[in-house]
Amino acid sequence: MLDNEHLLIEQARQDPAAFGALYDHYVDRIFAYTARLMQDDAAAQDVTAVTFEKALKQIRQYQWQAHGFGPWLYRIARNEALSRLRRQKWLSPQSWFGATEMRVTETAVQTRQTRQSIHHALARLRPQDRDIIVLRYLEELPSDQVAEILDCSTQNVYVRLHRALERLRTELESEQSVDFMNVAPLNE
């Protein structure tokens, strides 16, 4: 949250040009979040643009919350992303973690396999489960802000997150058991 965020919001209500400082502060975070949800950079750019367009149009209706402006933007982005995903009925997995160059060592291979396993397991989760895991662990938002974004209580965030993590654990375990069964026996 910006130190002078409340003042910037008041200025943006009178002069849309003042919205630029809020945009500059949040655009990268909102884009990263929507890219993880949409799993497509072009779609994430569209959702990010629509998010800020809607925020600017609705800035006069925004009511200041203790957590600041960020959770409101995340909620707009989340709603827009999920709406587009429902319309498109499209959930093709791409990298949740971004492209990183890895040295070819045993540790790097294991790390890559772990990330791929998590990526595949996340792709098989329901969008609601994936969403709460992304907000809490990949976006690293505190539970109270996640609650505000999802429009539920903090206690409900804990319950939903626990259930989503259980489903993720089940997916990871099932993937490991399939991988284990596909391992060829050693020739002795």
- Interacting residues of 17 by C-beta distance below 8 A, sequence separation 6+: none
- 3-state DSSP call for residue 38? helix
CB 21 within 8 A of CB 8: yes
CA distance 79 to 101: 33
Please choose, from the candidates 77, 36, 34, the residue with its C-alpha nearest in 3D space to the C-alpha of residue 55. 77
Q: Verify that 65 and 27 share a domain, yes or no.
A: yes
CB 102 within 8 A of CB 56: no
For residue 177, name the pLDDT band (cuts at 50, 70, 90): low
Q: Verify that 83 and 1 share a domain, yes or no.
A: yes
Radius of gyration of the chain (CA): 20
DSSP type of residue 117: H
Q: Verify that 60 and 145 share a domain, yes or no.
A: no
Burial of 21 (0-12, 13-18, 19+ CB in 10 A): middle
Instruction: State which residues form the domain around 174.
Output: 101-182
Q: Give helix 143-150 / helix 154-181 axis angle, nearest 10°.
A: 100
pTM, 2 dp: 0.60
CATH of residue 164's domain is 1.10.10.10
Question: Which of these three, 67, 92, 117, is where a domain ends?
Answer: 92
Asked if the structure places residue 187 within a domain, the reply is: no
86-136 pLDDT tens trace: 887 644 444 344 433 333 455 556 666 777 888 888 888 898 899 999 899
41-96 pLDDT tens trace: 899 999 999 999 999 999 888 887 777 888 999 999 999 998 888 887 644 444 34
The domain total for the chain is 2
